[in-house]
Amino acid sequence: MEFKEGLTFDDVLLVPKYSDITSRSQTDLSTRLSRNISISIPFVSANMDTVTESSMASAMARAGGIGIIHRFLTIKEQSGEILKVKRSGSVMIENPYSISSDKHVQDALDYAKDRDISGLLVVDSSFKLIGIVTERDLLFASKTDKIQDVMTKDVVTAKLGVTLDESKEILHKHRIEKLPIVDDSGIVKGLITSKDITNNADFPNASKDKKGRPLVGAAVGVKGDFLERSESLLNAGADVLVVDIAHGHSENAINAVRYIKKAFPNCELIAGNIATARGAQDLISAGVDAVKVGVGSGSICITRVITGSGVPQLTAVIDCAKVGQEHDIPIISDGGTRTSGDATKALASGASTVMIGSMLGGTDESPGTVLTKNGKRFKVYRGMASLAASLGRKSKEAGSMSLYDDLNDYVAEGVEAMVPYKGTVTDILKQLTGGVRSGLSYCGAHTILQMQENAEFIKISRAGFAESQPHDVSLM
């Protein structure tokens, strides 16, 4: 039997090359997520229930990356998360949320809380604008008051076609935050908010769809409700779906890809996870638009411990990227990224993007609350194949636990853990992108593609690895 050598990030370094770059700003991190989607930074937040829901996905898109909403939700909940992202950063919200004037304050409060919004337009049955209720109107109103008695009736509006600058001027002149857009008959056509205008100016690299709304993806499984789920997610506006199972080089995954592509031919589809050239080839032949690579490399994964199976991440990416390149299909390196150096190595070895879990867990935008232990703050971060996560899934996703009807039979391939609370994801992404930009420069490259052409890896010894870490000093 022949043994193939498998290497991962800590086994290698990138050999420094001559660079003509004098400032990090001369580097360009734009890349392809999938066949038809490009993003400005090569980072994707993992479809895990402790990493990506709407808040994370909106922040990722604002920074120029993308988030994939996890599937451990009901179809309605997951599609609702997509809708929230789509509304979070568009300059004009189409179909803004509204309420009728005979409803009560409590209805408006519930409705707004459910959808994470701060105000509602008040419309009649033909969607004609008759008022607006914002936090200010609702704050001290009795919960049983009718909307028509508390709403602001003199609403400042603008006509369809108003420019961004004109909207800004109107919002400023009237010291208001929401500007409904109406047609000549007063029918609501959209809503422009000061928050979205500010976001637009503050985040010039944001990932956007053709309508100027944030890009967002969503994960689906390979059994049970996956086709119905795909349809609902696409209808809600998901830009890309990810067929996500632990062993993606399987008949189940390949069939799911074929079914989805057949039912929704225009759907941009990623699938994984696989770790070999053959796995990449088979998914590409089935019709995927990007391949997600990584088996057992994630920080909370115990697949390799439990099953003995996996491929060290760097080798997996190199092998899959060769196939991806032959077919012009991007590769996503998923799992095991602990530093910007790891991300740089994954990109240099052929990945177009890097999917990240633990580094983004523990942020303000990741789901879950902050816990305090021994005076330090943490958030829960858990593997999607951990026992705790599988319990959540059993109740949310039809069919997903059919193999494990009795939980005693469930063999976990992930662990539940805690990660330090880290503040906002924007700061983490600044560190990550800053590190990768410098990494490009060390490879003498202005772009990720150039880095892939220039990259020369050197295998290092244990002594070389030890030398790479801070050593012989006491860390503060």
Question: CB nearest ligand XMP: which residue?
Answer: 414
Chosen residue from 119, 221, 296, 362 binding ligand XMP by CB under 6 A: 296
Query: Which DSSP string do the residues of 112-179 spell out, in sequence order?
Result: HHHHT-SEEEEE-TT-BEEEEEEHHHHTTS-TTSBHHHHSB-S---EETT--HHHHHHHHHHTT-SEE
Active site residues: 301
Residue carrying structure tokens 């890896």: 457
- What is the closest distance, in whole angstroms, from the C-beta atom of residue 294 to ligand XMP in the complex? 5
Q: How far is the CB of 330 from ligand XMP (least distance, A)?
A: 16
Which of 180, 298, 350, 439 forms a contact with ligand XMP (CB under 6 A)?
298
Total residues belonging to the chain: 476
Give CA–CA dist 312/110, Å, rounded: 48
Residue 312 lies near ligand XMP (rule: CB under 6 A): no
| 57 lines the binding site for ligand XMP (CB under 6 A) | no
Q: Is 400 an interacting residue with respect to ligand XMP (CB under 6 A)?
A: no
- Comparing CB distances to ligand XMP, the nearer of 49 and 196 is 49
> Which contacts (CB < 8 Å, 24+ apart) does range 184-187 have?
184/159, 185/128, 186/128, 186/129, 186/157, 187/126, 187/127, 187/128, 187/129
Among 131, 335, 350, 362, interactor with ligand XMP by CB under 6 A: 335
Q: Does 432 bind ligand XMP (CB under 6 A)?
A: no
Dig out the tokens for 202 from the structure: 């503050």
Q: What backbone torsions phi and psi does residue 224 show, to the nearest 5 degrees?
A: 60, -120
- Contact assessment for residue 282 and residue 249, using Cβ atoms and an 8 Å cutoff: yes
**CB nearer to ligand XMP: pick between 80 and 336:** 336
* Closest separation in Å from C-beta 65 to ligand XMP: 14
**Shortest approach of ligand XMP to residue 215 CB, angstroms?**
18
Rounded-to-integer distance, Cα 17 and Cα 37, Å: 30
> Which x/- pattern, by CB under 6 A, does the window 232-251 give for ligand XMP?
--------------x-----
For residues 368 and 55, is the Cβ–Cβ distance under 8 A? no
Task: Please check whether residue 314 is in contact with residue 296, taking contact to mean a CB–CB distance below 8 angstroms.
Answer: no
Rounded least distance, CB 180 to ligand XMP, Å: 40
Please, what is the minimum distance in Å from the beta carbon of residue 359 to ligand XMP? Answer: 6
Nearest 5 degrees, angle CA 156-CA 87-CA 120? 40
Q: Which stretch binds ligand XMP (CB under 6 A): 22-30, 75-83, 111-119, 330-338?
A: 330-338
Q: 365 or 413: whose CB is closer to ligand XMP?
A: 413
Q: Is 455 in the site for ligand XMP (CB under 6 A)?
A: no
Cis preceding-peptide flag for 273 (omega within 30 of 0): yes
Stretch of residues binding ligand XMP (CB under 6 A), selected from 135-143, 230-238, 262-270, 328-336: 328-336
Which x/- pattern, by CB under 6 A, does the window 368-387 give for ligand XMP? ---------------xxxx-
- CA angle, 34 as apex, 31 and 39 as ends, to 5°? 35
The residues, any chain, with a CB within 8 Å of residue 309's CB and separated by 6 or more, are 295, 296, 303
What is the contact surface with ligand XMP in residues (CB under 6 A)? Answer: 46, 48, 246, 273, 294, 296, 298-301, 303, 334-337, 355-358, 383-386, 413-414
